[in-house]
Amino acid sequence: MVVTCINATVGLWCAWPVAEVDGDGVVIAVSARDGRRIGVDRVNCQPTVYGLRAADHQPAAFAAMRWRTWREPGDALLDFAEIGPVPDAGARPAP
């Protein structure tokens, strides 16, 4: 998923599901709610893009973040950090 700025005037950021990456692993298209593929350059109004991997987050919570919006990118990153991986039930806490 990528978090991009979709409106710089009001400071609106959105989490987009990745639809396609190029051979170098760079996101080139995202998925719209209706299933259309849109070039990431068409939905991003600033050069900053935050990439987030599903493997680093709880699956259902990560999927629920699709198309969610925030006023600040830092808030988006904090929300994704809160749904990090589920701790291993057998792991022992650090001393």
Q: What is the DSSP string of 14-65?
A: EEE-EEEE-TTS-EEEEE-TTS-EEEHHHH-SSS-EEE--GGGS-HHHHHHT
Q: What is the mean pLDDT of residues 21-35?
A: 95
> For residue range 42-73, what is the model confidence (pLDDT) as tens digits?
999 999 999 999 999 999 999 999 999 999 99
- Amino acid identity, residue 18? V
pTM (2 d.p.): 0.85
The pLDDT of residue 20 is: 97
* Cα distances (angstroms) measured from residue 65 to each of 30, 69, 91, 92: 14, 9, 27, 30
Q: Is the pLDDT of residue 95 over 80?
A: no
CA distance linking residue 28 with residue 25, whole number of Å: 9
Q: What is the mean pLDDT of residues 19-46?
A: 95
